[in-house]
Structure formats: structure tokens, C-alpha cells
């Protein structure tokens, strides 16, 4: 696998960021802009990975409404905690210039989450719809915001993100495993 911005055999033209393939507009470094960070995190982390796979299940194992799919994936503690971990790590690396993503580790983590979601038999489009659901984004934003508040992180104060990031790295937490100090 190539580093950020490098070519990956068989996937020419795909731009790679710290959490895997990057879709949409992002800076040359592959870091999402702050105003759409949560959306881009989930899009590039969980769902855009599927674009490189293109194979697997052709559809759902059983017919279900999108609300049922959203409820199932949102209730899966492993998937939800993985999304939470990615969101925490991404917010830290975005707001703290002295911390960056561990690209290979984060990409492997994302593929694992995607595989867990696919084990339910849901299609790429169904997983994408879950990721884009207003309820999913609102819940994730609220939980990450509460976690940051509990740990002294303040919006507009990058040093608070850096302090939490250093703490996560030192503790070897799930988010800390996706990060490293520059």
C-alpha cells in the first residue's frame, strides 16, 4: 500500500488519506476540512473503503427497511464503539498539529469495521445510508462531544486536543492506537 497521495496497484486515481481512501474534496494531505469533519470521517472511514472492494455480497441477506438496518448497525456495540473510536481519533489528529494518524493501523481498523457490517449481509449502499443517516451523525456527534467535555477538550483550544491525544496514546486506548506523536 502506498502512503498518503501515493498510487495503489489496481486503484490508480484513488487518493489515500490517514484513514484509507479519501472521497470528495480534501486538502492535499488527505485531512478533511473542519466544517464537514464528522461527515467525511464516516464517509472516508467506513463507507468509502467499500469502493475499493466492489465484490462480496450482491445484496441483503434478507429484506429489511433502512430504519431496521440503521437500528441493527447502531445497536451493534462493536460497530458503534469502532465508529466512536474513529471519530475521537480523527478529531484529535485534525485539531492537534503534533499528532497524526497511524495510517496502516487505521486503515486495517476501518476494514475490520466494514467487514463486521457486511457480516449482517447488508449492501454497500445500505451501509452508506446508515452512515449518512441524520440520527447516526447526531448520536455520534453527541457522544464524542460528551467524551471531549468529560476529558477537558474545548473547541478552539488545540492544546486540549493535544493533551487528550497524548493521554490516549500513552494509555494505549483504542483511539490512541490509531494515533502517533509527530
Question: Above 70 in pLDDT, residue 11?
Answer: no
Q: What share of the chain is helix, strand, coil (3-state, %, to 5)?
A: 60, 5, 35
Q: What is the mean pLDDT of residues 159-179?
A: 97
**Mean pLDDT over residues 152-175, rounded?**
97
Question: Do the beta carbons of residue 177 and residue 166 sit within 8 Å?
Answer: no
Quick one: average pLDDT of 4-27?
Answer: 43
> What value does the mean pLDDT take over residues 47-54?
36
pLDDT attached to residue 19: 46
Write out pLDDT tens, residues 69-84: 999 999 999 999 999 9
Q: Is the pLDDT of residue 147 over 60?
A: yes
Tell me: pLDDT of 38 over 50.
Answer: no
Alpha helices in 46-123 (DSSP H): 49-53, 66-75, 77-95, 103-118
Residue 58: pLDDT over 70: no
What are the cell numbers at 35? 466544517
Place of cell 478552539: 156
CA–CA gap between residue 118 and residue 160 (Å, rounded): 36
pLDDT above 50 (res 116): yes
Q: Which three cell numbers stand for residue 169?
A: 496514546
Q: Please give the average per-residue pLDDT across 30-43, as a whole number.
A: 44
C-alpha cell at 121: 449481509
Kindly tell me if the per-residue pLDDT of 161 is higher than 60: yes
Under DSSP, is residue 8 helix (H, G, I), strand (E, B) or coil? coil
Amino acid at each position: 500500500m502506498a502512503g498518503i497521495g501515493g498510487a495503489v496497484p489496481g486503484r490508480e486515481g484513488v487518493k489515500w488519506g490517514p484513514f484509507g481512501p479519501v472521497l470528495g474534496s480534501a486538502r492535499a494531505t488527505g485531512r478533511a476540512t473542519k466544517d464537514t469533519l464528522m461527515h467525511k470521517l464516516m464517509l472516508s472511514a467506513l463507507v468509502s473503503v467499500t469502493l475499493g472492494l466492489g465484490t462480496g455480497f450482491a445484496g441483503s441477506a434478507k429484506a429489511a427497511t433502512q430504519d431496521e438496518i440503521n437500528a441493527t448497525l447502531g445497536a451493534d456495540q462493536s460497530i458503534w464503539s469502532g465508529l466512536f473510536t474513529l471519530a475521537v481519533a480523527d478529531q484529535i489528529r485534525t485539531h492537534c498539529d503534533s499528532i497524526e494518524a497511524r495510517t496502516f493501523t487505521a486503515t486495517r481498523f476501518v476494514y475490520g469495521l466494514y467487514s463486521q457490517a457486511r457480516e449482517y449481509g447488508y449492501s454497500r449502499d445500505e451501509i452508506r445510508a446508515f452512515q449518512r443517516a441524520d440520527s447516526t451523525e447526531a448520536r455520534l456527534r453527541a457522544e464524542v462531544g460528551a467524551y471531549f467535555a468529560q476529558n477537558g477538550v474545548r473547541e478552539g483550544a488545540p492544546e486540549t486536543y493535544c493533551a487528550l491525544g497524548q493521554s490516549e496514546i500513552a494509555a494505549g486506548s483504542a483511539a490512541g492506537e490509531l494515533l502517533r506523536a509527530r
